[in-house]
Amino acid sequence: MDKLSAMRTFVQIVETGSFTRAAEQLGIPKARASQRLRDLEDSLRVRLLERTTRALRLTDEGRAYHERCVRLLAEIDEAEQALRGRHAQPSGQLRVEAVAAIARHVLAPALVDFHRRHPLLSVHLGSSDRIVHLLEDGVDCAIRGGELPDAGHVARRICSVQLGLYASQELLTRYGEPRDPAALAALPRLGWLAARGGGVVPWKLLRDEGDAIEVPGVPALAFDDGDAAVAAAVGGAGVVVAAPFAVRSRVLCGELLPVLPEWTAGRRPVNVVYASNHQLSARVRVFVNWAIQLMQADATMALHPRELVALRAGL
């Protein structure tokens, strides 16, 4: 059995959802495509696909093997392209995970630009705040916020984001606008669930002069998704801690107002992370460089809450 041909056939069957269409695209008889898959399953001693009269479904083993096959075949194709002198046009599949708010508000609107530059690359963008293990989860690179303790990865710092406090006009009318951080204890607050451990992240506020204060109490509502927390704040559920790019449009249209704009919940570093145990491929390198350039050029990434006040006042 030609293992490489069998792997390509397996990937094609999965991506087309049909033995017939896979065989047509590979230019082989359907019977040969079926035989290659049977030989591959026999050699691995696992069932990769469940076949029914209506559909094909990956088994758990098949799903994991498919992800690895896609990555391996892309690396082989890239190596062959480089030898043929076509390394200026990286191709294949690229799987990226990003902080949900950055994926939705910064990366996704600009991906059309990346695709125009690199039309042979297929990008699968996951928007999640969960921690992923790059190699084990088949992820090529990830954009993450906060400090990264895992020394097994390369982390390139992109920028730092100023986290501010925001609330709806309705909430501030109902409770009164706080004049100092201590007054926040009397307002409903929306908390963040910690990525590790599931606890609620405490509110520690900072000011340019170096003042720091921790707001006592535990928020009644807590979230692990930035857009969900912002939506709850718009609905009047409480004061939310948010990044400027996630609330800019809400502030400019009046749905949210900065609260205590001279204070912030600190700076949150943003990093792009990729595995360090092998040479960075061309397809990952072009995406990493594009993403860094995009985010460093995006003025909303580094806005201070008081700058949002000035922007709204200038409308």
- Residue ending a domain, choose from 52, 83, 114: 83
Give pLDDT < 70 ranges for the chain: 53, 81-88, 129-137, 148-152, 195-198, 209, 276-280, 313-315
Half-sphere exposure of 164 (CA within 13 A, CB side): 28
Whether the Cβ atoms of residue 286 and residue 118 lie closer than 8 Å to each other: yes
The pLDDT of residue 1: 72
The verdict on 259 and 185 lying in the same domain is yes
The verdict on 227 and 170 lying in the same domain is yes
The verdict on 188 and 308 lying in the same domain is yes
- Residue ending a domain, choose from 31, 55, 83: 83
The pLDDT of residue 209: 64
The total of structural domains in the chain comes to: 3
The three-state (H, E, C) secondary structure of the chain, written as one string: CCHHHHHHHHHHHHHHCCHHHHHHHHCCCHHHHHHHHHHHHHHHCCCCEEECCCCEEECHHHHHHHHHHHHHHHHHHHHHHHHCCCCCCCCEEEEEEECHHHHHHHHHHHHHHHHHHCCCEEEEEEECCCCCCHHHHCCCEEEEECCCCCCCEEEEEEEEEECEEEECHHHHHHHCCCCCHHHHHHCCEEEEECCCCCCECCEEEEECCCCEEEECCCCCEEECCHHHHHHHHHCCCCEEEECHHHHHHHHHCCCCEEECCCEECCEEEEEEEEECCCCCCHHHHHHHHHHHHHHHHCHHHHCCHHHHHHHHHCC
The pLDDT of residue 256: 94
The verdict on 23 and 135 lying in the same domain is no
Q: CATH number for the domain including 221?
A: 3.40.190.290
The verdict on 103 and 195 lying in the same domain is no
The verdict on 283 and 143 lying in the same domain is yes
The verdict on 153 and 182 lying in the same domain is no
The pLDDT of residue 314: 64
The verdict on 34 and 11 lying in the same domain is yes
The pLDDT of residue 277: 47
The verdict on 121 and 18 lying in the same domain is no
- Residue ending a domain, choose from 49, 83, 117: 83
The verdict on 262 and 167 lying in the same domain is yes
- By residue range, what is the domain housing residue 168? 162-268+303-313
The verdict on 65 and 107 lying in the same domain is no
The verdict on 278 and 148 lying in the same domain is yes
